[in-house]
Amino acid sequence: MPKDYLTEYEPLLTKGGKNPKRLQFPNKFLLLAMFSTCIGGTFQCGYNISIINSPTKYVQDFINQTWRQRYQTEISNDGLTLLWSTIVSMFTAGGFIGVSIGGNLSVKLGRKGTLLTNNVFSLLASLLMGLSSNAGSFEMLIIGRLLIGINAGIALCVEPMFLGEIAPTSLRGAMGTGSSIFLTGGILSGQVMGLKELLGREQYWPLLLSTTCIPTLLQLLLLPWFPESPRYLFIDRGDKEKCKKALNQLHGSAGSDIVLEDIQKEKDNLVGFKAKKPWELFADRSLRWQVITIIVLNIAQQLNGVNAMYFYADYLFRQAGISEDNIPYATVGTGACECLTALTCGMLVESLGRKVLISGGYLLMSICCILFTVTLALQNVSPVFPYLSVACVFAFVLSFGLGPGGVTNILTTEMFKQTTRPAAFMIAGSVNWLSFFIIGLLFPFIVIGLEHYCFLVFFVVCLSVGIYIIVVLPETKNKSFVDIQKEFQSRWNKETNSDEADPLLISTSL
């Protein structure tokens, strides 16, 4: 029998109560499970988002040199720009592919099985990018970035689902913020590794890109020691014994019987139902507002202006008198700021709730957009305004990390049940990656056309989404997955034609 990691923290259970009440902190086993899951998932994604920025000039020089050796001529500026843009954008293309297959893989291979299998893409990418310089092949960089993008897409689809399913109800939000904490931690780590004191010099850029194998190896070493999602084992696979064993490992033997009973009730009500496809969610009227909500939230996560704020950060740092050599360290500061706010979000999400954090975050971001537009317009009026603009950058990043950055994935997990959750993550991830691609494509033209007034567009986005959340979204804290769906239906869907309407009478504590 696996060791009971809750022995020293005995769960407090109410007799005959609907939901077990647990002490508000995770046990050691759950913390290790979260680390093992996220280090090769969202941490890997964040790391590869930021790590490509530092060696930009060196990779472009490599492309120039390779082209000259092959064709005995210099590559044109347009050709160089096209190849570099292709290398960068392949990550987004791969992410879209990954999220498109992640949901189906999570049903066939299991949540844990999919995360472990996903590491094949990362190892291949690390090998290709690390050897590209010696091989004299920028094509290897393109393929490597595509593969690591697929890895990121699958991870962003499956990891939040897995964390939400292994966590007890009282800690589901805190566990869910693990994805954003490790994502921002990965971005910060990539920024630090790209400093000249570490691997930011020209001769080290292939090694820098190949370090993506480190979190992969850590996950392959640690994750196999942890169980598959109990809900997947019992509801999807029908393996009661493995489910019970997993619950004992994750929550302790004292509470596992009650949780197992609730999962059994849900399974009984889902007999004959299979995991739905994404297009089936659009046809299900009982899920209309949940689907609309995840689409709105995932579009807003990319179109809220946080990418534009990072774009302007370098310019503002120069305006504030920070030297060119010190700008990378200031950029690391913004990454550290976002990472700390993600940690803060994890500590507050169970006390303040999801709705307060995410709506408050968007409303604060809308205020920052106005202030930022004003301070940018007055840059030449007084020397104090560049510093106020820098303060707005940090305030905006803090607001994003405190709400939208940390809570969005949690809500995608909580608003759907076992049979609809994989498809929901496929929809949410596809929208997110597609929005990421569109903003990357159009943002330069928006900046050229509107200059700093582009933040008025982001003001409208942030304010609109903040109001939408206040009006449409119910609070999901300490509620079961089924209770949350029932609340959506009682609010918006007086009549439903869902074939799963009847099972909503049963509640589960997971």
**All domains of the chain in start order, with CATH:** 25-226 (1.20.1250.20), 276-492 (1.20.1250.20)
pLDDT tens digit string along 34-49?
Answer: 999 999 999 999 999 8
Amino acid at 54: S
Nearest-angstrom CA–CA distance, 500 and 50:
43
Do 147 and 128 form a contact (C-beta atoms < 8 A)? yes
What's the predicted TM-score (pTM) here? 0.82
For the chain, what is the radius of gyration of the CA atoms?
Answer: 23
pLDDT tens digit string along 426-476?
Answer: 999 899 888 888 877 777 677 777 777 878 888 999 999 999 999 999 888
Nearest to 32 by CA among 306, 223, 277: 223
**What pLDDT, on a 0 to 100 scale, did the predictor assign at position 200?**
86
- Helix H or strand E segment including 355: helix 354-377
Nearest to 176 by CA among 187, 167, 185: 167
Centroid of chain to Cα 447: 26
21 phi/psi in degrees, rounded to 5: -100, 120
506 phi/psi in degrees, rounded to 5: -100, 135
Give percent of the chain with pLDDT exceeding 90: 35
Tell me how crowded residue 502 is: count the other CB atoms within 10 A of its CB: 9
Do 152 and 48 form a contact (C-beta atoms < 8 A)? yes
Structure tokens given for 495: 């009549």
What residues in the chain have per-residue pLDDT under 50? 1-26, 495-510
Do 432 and 386 form a contact (C-beta atoms < 8 A)? no
Nearest-angstrom CA–CA distance, 216 and 204:
20
Centroid of chain to Cα 487: 26
Q: Over the chain, what is the mean pLDDT?
A: 82
- Burial per residue of 46-65, b for 16 or more beta-carbon CB atoms within 10 angstroms, e otherwise: bbbbbbbebbeebbbebbbe
**What pLDDT, on a 0 to 100 scale, did the predictor assign at position 320?**
61
Residue spans of alpha helices (H) in 304-326: 306-319
